[in-house]
Structure 1
């Protein structure tokens, strides 16, 4: 003879509800048992996250300082190059002015020598 049992809807519902309640109780018990460990892990995780944020902030600060230093060095190099170019330009202008003044002086000396020779010739003739 077979064992036949007709499980009705109401019985299946209560069985499912009891099973869900048992699972929930088991979850709560496991969660409560792991709670001290979980809190310790969460505290450790929070401490690591805080350290990570500090490291990132320090790295960002160092990058900003390096960027500012690099910009300042570039600015100083540019100013030095401009100063060198200006000094070279001034030296060229000074050399040109000196050359021009020497040419003018030489021309004046040549004219003075010519005038002296002319005056001497006139004095001999006259």
Structure 2
């Protein structure tokens, strides 16, 4: 039997991108494409756009969920470090707000530190490393 589009298996995880202060759907769509390409670098991980069934009054079929990806793989749990590293680099590079990784009713949110937090860390490092 084939798997129906839009259904997740137990090995699937959903990644939800929070675009941060920018709210336009075009930019979120670009972010989604970029994270999808980054995650495809992980050997054995399949990544696709999340889909949902069309609601009443809409054309039949599946709707693409902007800002959401579904990742699956035989040993996805062993890929946690690689996924984390890619998401952190993605957040830093794109300035997106966060990415939430969901598996059933459990989730983890990886947030990019704010510019103020980064500046504070730099100031603390300067104080720590200052020669007197």
- TM class by shorter-chain length? under 0.3
Q: TM-score, normalised by structure 2?
A: 0.19
**Relative contact order: is structure 1 or structure 2 higher (C-alpha 8 Å, sep ≥ 6)?**
2
Q: TM-score, normalised by structure 1?
A: 0.20
Q: Which has the higher helix share?
A: 1
